[in-house]
């Protein structure tokens, strides 16, 4: 049974999900012994193996497609979910042992029918379909009043926690707002109260003036090495226009985001090779009433978190970080890889 | 040049330390090709190789020792420090780009002359010497008014970020209080204001009443699987007596802590084998005036953070966690391994 528990001395919600430990790993040893085609025969995310996944909840299909595949993007519940879509969301209030039921949704987005491709090698149009899929699911979860936040992320490579190689993202719809997003919202809101402006908008302006941490930009988005980057080659993509939530993105901006994401990931791979990373979208919580929205401000963005070093006792004990590559050096190297 | 920078949207200080990337790793491939004795010839932390480390700053030597070794515990500056002991501690205040100089101390504690031993296999008396060494360094750094906090931690195993196998801990004395400790202090203080008691003391009482998350205890310390454990088999050792800072520990309690730590690590290794972990001491910041001390309350403790799963996009993006082993199951398994 899934339970969500708060460590009261740290104020952190943790999902206690014993069943999640049963999921398979296709890595250990296998990838060295099998070529991609052979491996894809067993891959539950590959076309033809749809019966190996829980029932599809969403897909993009193109009847006029010239390809052999029946779908382009496909979403289904995670077979080994960290959250329980049939669970309770009831909260047990307690000074010391605060608990929520394990209710929530945990889905997988098979991003492409192709088994062995990196995200940035897909055409911009295909990356756009993935982004549209995210938006579709974000919208679907807004129908559940208990869902407070939708985490959208992807893990690239075994060292980044990916248990299957087929390109996929994950979506977790939770009854709590993630710790780091809550912190960002609090800080953005308090900056807004003090200065009357959005801290992310101000950062974009300041970074453009300074120039040295800018990696790339297009009409809609700017890509930077953040000034206080926690990880070597940490990279953020921000919409230039002030938008609180990812769902505010327009059709045209979706194309621009796909373009910027492809460019950025291509530059990172150009510099770092087949590097492991996590990619996360930080967006505003699910809000339904105007008064809720008025209570805070935010500016959604994408964070690419490469996994080049191993966080050790200092990082795990402090939640501070040691970054061995200066953001300015990282930005300079990546600028050199932008077409 | 080391710089400490704040990511203003997250409020997190990160140490930007480009030189730190130059340190060696003795793992890749080596351990499989060399036996322990051969490896120790090249180990900078082994007796006989003292010249391979920066000059010793502290050691424990026993003139009457029956052993062949000239020292029992030895402390020296990290050859590849993340902090600069000759650096500045000056702060550049800025709304968006807040910076501190890289001033701080980064030391290594060679815990034993023995190259190839796990901490828990040392006699209690030897573990006590290591704890006494930590206390000695904590006291030494209290002479530096710029130092706000002393992080004491150890990394066990390559997967936990250890770059050398010889048993060692690290000490980082910083001009900022670590994020997680600051959070714990804020929460402990606010609980104290609301309830008039220490949240850690209350937790110890409540855990003893419930029993199911208690792993072990002795006269001075209790070892628990915390209710909201973030990691499988996360284990906390707490002093039963209310003590804000680690430096308040008595001589007798130091022996009791060594005993409890040996028991706990032995149980964890009994259950998990040669498992990788980080161990961190969470203690109160360095305070010098009475008014500073009166502003907050805290209860120092040790956290053992096993490294059995790979945190992925959800964890890195949210700073929340998914734990696939319930704390009650972990405690039950570990209780079964306590002598």
Q: What are the pLDDT digits (tens) for A193-250?
A: 999 999 999 999 999 999 999 999 999 999 999 999 999 999 999 999 999 999 999 9
In Å, how far from its chain's centre is CA B170? 8
* B225, B170: one domain: no
For residue A324, the chain B residue with the least C-alpha distance is: B18
Indicate the SS3 state at residue B48: coil
Phi, psi angles (nearest 5°) of residue B309? -125, 165
Per the structure block, which two tokens stand in for B180? Answer: 């997680």
pLDDT at B63: 74
* B248, B152: one domain: no
With contact defined as beta carbons under 8 Å apart, do B218 and B260 qualify? yes
* B120, B187: one domain: no
Whether residue A203 and residue B96 make contact (CB cut-off 8 A), yes or no, is yes
What is the average pLDDT across A258-271?
98
Dist CA B90 CA B103 (whole Å)? 9
Q: How much is the pTM?
A: 0.94
Higher pLDDT pick, B147 / A20:
B147
* A57, A187: one domain: no
What are the residue ranges of helices labelled H in chain B? 30-33, 36-41, 124-141, 179-195, 199-210, 251-272, 290-294, 313-318, 327-335
pLDDT at A291: 58
What is the average pLDDT across A16-42?
62
Known catalytic membership, residue B168: yes
Q: How many residues does chain A have?
A: 339
With contact defined as beta carbons under 8 Å apart, do B109 and B130 qualify? yes
With contact defined as beta carbons under 8 Å apart, do A190 and A197 qualify? no
Chain A contacts of B20, Cβ < 8 Å?
322, 324
Q: For residue range A238-259, what is the model confidence (pLDDT) as tens digits?
A: 999 999 999 999 999 999 999 9
pLDDT at A32: 43
Using pLDDT thresholds of 50, 70 and 90, give the confidence band for residue A68.
Answer: confident
With contact defined as beta carbons under 8 Å apart, do B239 and B314 qualify? no
* B204, B279: one domain: yes
pLDDT at B30: 39
Which pairing describes strands A321-323 and B12-16: parallel, antiparallel, or unpaired?
parallel
Indicate the SS3 state at residue B37: helix
Rounded to two decimals, the ipTM of the complex is: 0.93
Dist CA A186 CA A183 (whole Å)? 5
Q: Which of A168, A236, A282, A299 is catalytic?
A: A168
Nearest-Cα distance to chain A for B42, in Å, is: 23
> Please, what is the average pLDDT of chain A?
92
Q: For residue range A302-339, what is the model confidence (pLDDT) as tens digits?
A: 999 999 999 999 999 999 999 999 999 999 999 999 97
* B11, B84: one domain: yes
Boundary (domain end) residue, out of B176, B208, B241: B176
Chain B contacts of A200, Cβ < 8 Å?
9
Angle between helices B179-195 and B199-210 (to 10 degrees): 80
Boundary (domain end) residue, out of A176, A209, A240: A176
Using pLDDT thresholds of 50, 70 and 90, give the confidence band for residue A24.
Answer: low
Q: What is the DSSP string of A190-238?
A: HHHHHHSS-HHHHHHHHHHHH-TTEEEE-SSEEEE--TT-SSTT-EEEE
Q: For residue range B124-133, what is the model confidence (pLDDT) as tens digits?
A: 999 999 999 9
DSSP A55: P
Q: What is the CATH number of the domain that holds B12?
A: 3.30.428.10
Query: Which of A88, A112, A100 has its CA nearest to residue A166?
Result: A112
Dist CA A230 CA A238 (whole Å)? 17
Indicate the SS3 state at residue A61: coil
pLDDT at A27: 40
Chain B contacts of A325, Cβ < 8 Å?
18, 21
pLDDT at A31: 40
Dist CA B291 CA B150 (whole Å)? 20
Using pLDDT thresholds of 50, 70 and 90, give the confidence band for residue A295.
Answer: confident
Phi, psi angles (nearest 5°) of residue B77? -65, 145
* A211, A278: one domain: yes
What is the average pLDDT across A164-173?
96
Residue of B3, B96, B178 with shortest CB distance to A318 = B178
**Residue tagged 């010239």 (tokens):** A66
Dist CA B232 CA A16 (whole Å)? 9
Q: For residue range A116-125, what is the model confidence (pLDDT) as tens digits?
A: 999 999 999 9
With contact defined as beta carbons under 8 Å apart, do B274 and B121 qualify? no
Boundary (domain end) residue, out of B129, B154, B176: B176
Query: Which of B334, B138, B120 has its CA nearest to residue B248?
Result: B138
* B323, B270: one domain: yes
Which whole-number Å values give the CA distances from B334 to A18, A82, B233, B327, B339, in the listed order? Answer: 17, 24, 9, 10, 10
Per the structure block, which two tokens stand in for A109? Answer: 């987005």
Dist CA B304 CA B111 (whole Å)? 17
pLDDT at B20: 72
Indicate the SS3 state at residue A97: coil
Chain B contacts of A92, Cβ < 8 Å?
none
pLDDT at B204: 98
* B118, B170: one domain: yes
pLDDT at B33: 45
Per the structure block, which two tokens stand in for B111? Answer: 């815990």
Nearest-Cα distance to chain B for A277, in Å, is: 8
Among A34-48, A82-96, A144-158, the minimum mean pLDDT is found in A34-48
Dist CA A171 CA A142 (whole Å)? 13
Give the containing element (helix H, strand E) for A304. strand A301-306
Dist CA B150 CA B278 (whole Å)? 16
Containing domain of residue B246, as a range?
A: 180-335
Chain B contacts of A202, Cβ < 8 Å?
95-96
Q: How many residues does chain B have?
A: 339
Residues of chain B with pLDDT under 70: 21-38, 65-67, 287-294
Whether residue A151 and residue B15 make contact (CB cut-off 8 A), yes or no, is no
SS3 content of chain A, % helix, strand, coil (to 5): 35, 20, 45
Best residue in B3, B228, B307 for a mutation probing chain A (most A CBs within 10 Å): B228
CB-count burial class (<10 Å; 0-12, 13-18, 19+) for A312: buried
Q: What angle do CA A138, A17, A132 make, to 5 degrees?
A: 15
Using pLDDT thresholds of 50, 70 and 90, give the confidence band for residue A29.
Answer: very low
Query: Which of A172, A238, A230 has its CA nearest to residue A207?
Result: A238
Indicate the SS3 state at residue A247: helix
In Å, how far from its chain's centre is CA B234? 14
In Å, the largest CA–CA distance within chain B is 60
* B251, B309: one domain: yes
pLDDT at A21: 66
What's the number of domains chain B is made of? 2
pLDDT at A30: 39
Best residue in A1, A13, A14, A83 for a mutation probing chain B (most B CBs within 10 Å): A14
* B71, B168: one domain: yes
SS3 content of chain B, % helix, strand, coil (to 5): 35, 20, 45
In this structure, the number of other CB atoms found within 10 A of the CB of residue A195 comes to: 11
Dist CA A153 CA A151 (whole Å)? 6
Which whole-number Å values give the CA distances from A321 to A318, B16, B178, in the listed order? Answer: 8, 8, 10
What is the average pLDDT across A133-157?
95
* B255, B170: one domain: no
Higher pLDDT pick, A142 / B177:
B177
**Residue tagged 């932390």 (tokens):** B45
Residues near B216 by Cβ (< 8 Å), separated by ≥ 6? B222, B223, B260, B263, B264, B267, B334, B335, B338
């Amino acid at each position: 049974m899934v339970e969500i528990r708060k460590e009261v001395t740290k104020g952190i919600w943790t999902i206690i999900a014993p069943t999640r430990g049963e999921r398979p790993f296709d890595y250990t040893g296998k990838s060295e012994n099998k070529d991609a085609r052979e491996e894809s025969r067993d891959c539950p995310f590959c076309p033809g193996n749809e019966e190996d996944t829980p029932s599809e909840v969403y897909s993009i299909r193109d009847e006029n497609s010239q390809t052999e595949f029946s779908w382009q993007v496909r979403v289904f519940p995670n077979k080994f979910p960290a959250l329980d879509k049939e669970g309770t969301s009831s909260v047990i209030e307690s000074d010391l042992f605060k608990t929520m039921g394990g209710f929530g949704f945990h889905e997988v987005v098979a991003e492409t029918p192709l088994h062995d491709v990196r995200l940035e090698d897909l055409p911009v149009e295909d990356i756009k379909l993935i982004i549209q899929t995210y938006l579709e699911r974000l919208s679907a979860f807004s129908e559940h009043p208990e869902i407070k936040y939708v985490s959208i992320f992807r893990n690239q490579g075994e060292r980044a926690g990916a248990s299957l190689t087929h390109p996929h993202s994950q979506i977790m719809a939770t009854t709590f707002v993630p710790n780091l997003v809550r912190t960002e919202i609090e800080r953005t809101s308090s900056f807004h109260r003090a200065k009357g402006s959005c801290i992310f908008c101000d950062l974009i302006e300041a970074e453009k003036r300074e120039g040295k941490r800018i990696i790339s930009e297009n009409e809609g988005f700017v890509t930077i090495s953040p000034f206080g980057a926690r990880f070597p080659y940490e990279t953020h993509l921000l919409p230039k226009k002030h938008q609180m939530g990812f769902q505010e993105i327009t059709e045209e901006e979706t194309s621009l985001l796909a373009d910027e994401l492809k460019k950025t990931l291509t530059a990172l791979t150009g510099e770092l090779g087949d590097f492991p990373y996590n990619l996360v979208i930080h967006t505003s919580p699910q809000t339904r009433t105007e008064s809720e929205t008025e209570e805070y401000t935010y500016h959604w963005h994408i964070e690419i978190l490469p996994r080049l070093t191993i966080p050790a006792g200092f990082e795990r004990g402090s939640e501070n970080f040691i970054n061995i590559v200066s953001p300015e050096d990282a930005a300079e190297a990546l600028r050199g890889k932008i077409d």
